[in-house]
Amino acid sequence: MALEITDSSFQETVLKSDKPVLVDFWAVWCGPCRTLGPIIEEVAADFDGKAVVGKVDVDNNQEISMQYGIRNIPTVLIFKNGEVVDKLVGVAPKDVIAQKLSAHL
């Protein structure tokens, strides 16, 4: 299951992770985000133990959303060694997301 990542847990969960981290920036009111949600959960299950998969609610965590310039949601960022290494904006199929994450394992 995807982790809930907050402004206060972001540094520990994402930036200090020894595994690649996929972060889905989303909001409850966002239709496309609700479409992407189950896909992110499937990716989280598929990559369990190999990568960290989490979600940031942009309404409740504005600090981290602003820091990474999140203007459109859903936005998926992939981090490795604390750096953004890939980005997807909008809804993407599971195989596209999985392929991008696999490239950083």
| Residue of 17, 4, 24 whose CA lies nearest to 80 | 17
Of 33, 36, 58, 73, catalytic = 33
Of 3, 7, 27, 30, catalytic = 30
Phi, psi (5° rounding) for residue 56? -120, 120
Catalytic annotation on 33? yes
Structure tokens at 103: 């490239």
> Which residues carry out catalysis?
30, 33
